[in-house]
């Protein structure tokens, strides 16, 4: 077991990857050795003293590879500090605070496998033109039209930094 912390992410369009990088940077700046890796590049978590796992939300759930990751490494993750975060557009809404407790339920399937020492709920980014499915593009254009949310990058770097600072002491063995 080395002293490194793993921050690993599942991301379709890069915004969750950016959140993971920011968490890794904050931890590294406070003296933690960190690897920030896409989930498909992680084969084994046994060498890490703690693991932080995050995913973009699609249709109210973590991306399939993120759930698969927690399932595959469930036993190892249960034996060390494990933190989980999600990135979604609901939290970019003006009335986001009203939806926070609902958004938190999206981590329930993760909790059922491994209980996180801390959970992060972050607003993400949306560029509708990059969504491959016509149906999904239409759905998002309509939700923008009806004022549910705005396109663009809504990541709150201060909130992400604050979360990572609070996380640091919880990642100790």
Ligand X SMILES: Cc1cc2nc3c(=O)[nH]c(=O)nc-3n(C[C@H](O)[C@H](O)[C@H](O)COP(=O)(O)O)c2cc1C
Binding residues among 126-145 for ligand X as defined by CB under 6 A: 126, 131, 136
Strands 118-123 and 125-126: unpaired
Q: Does 57 bind ligand X (CB under 6 A)?
A: yes
Q: Does 22 bind ligand X (CB under 6 A)?
A: no
At a CB cut-off of 8 Å and minimum separation 6, what does 64 contact? none
Task: Give the C-alpha separation, 62 to 60, whole Å.
Answer: 7
Q: Does 84 bind ligand X (CB under 6 A)?
A: no
Task: Give the C-alpha separation, 144 to 111, whole Å.
Answer: 31
CB 80 to ligand X: min, Å: 25
Task: Give the C-alpha separation, 16 to 10, whole Å.
Answer: 7
Q: Does 66 bind ligand X (CB under 6 A)?
A: no
Q: Which residue is nearest to ligand X (CB)?
A: 124
Q: Does 153 bind ligand X (CB under 6 A)?
A: no
Provide the binding-site residues for ligand X, judged by CB under 6 A: 11-16, 56-60, 87-90, 124-126, 131, 136
């Amino acid at each position: 077991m080395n002293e490194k912390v793993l921050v690993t992410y599942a991301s379709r369009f890069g915004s969750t990857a950016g959140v993971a990088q920011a968490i890794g940077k904050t931890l590294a700046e406070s003296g933690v050795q960190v690897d920030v890796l896409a989930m498909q590049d992680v084969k084994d978590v046994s060498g890490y003293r703690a693991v932080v796992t995050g995913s973009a939300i699609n249709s109210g759930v973590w991306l399939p590879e993120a759930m698969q990751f927690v399932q595959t490494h469930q036993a190892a993750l249960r034996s060390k500090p494990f933190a989980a975060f999600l990135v979604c557009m609901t939290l970019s809404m003006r009335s986001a605070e009203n939806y926070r407790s609902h958004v938190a339920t999206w981590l329930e399937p993760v909790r059922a496998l491994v209980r996180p020492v801390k959970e992060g709920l972050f607003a993400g980014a949306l560029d509708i033109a990059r969504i491959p499915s016509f149906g999904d593009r239409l759905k998002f254009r309509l939700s923008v039209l009806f004022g549910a949310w705005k396109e663009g990058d809504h990541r709150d770097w201060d909130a992400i930094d604050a979360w990572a600072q609070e996380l640091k002491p919880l990642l100790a063995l």
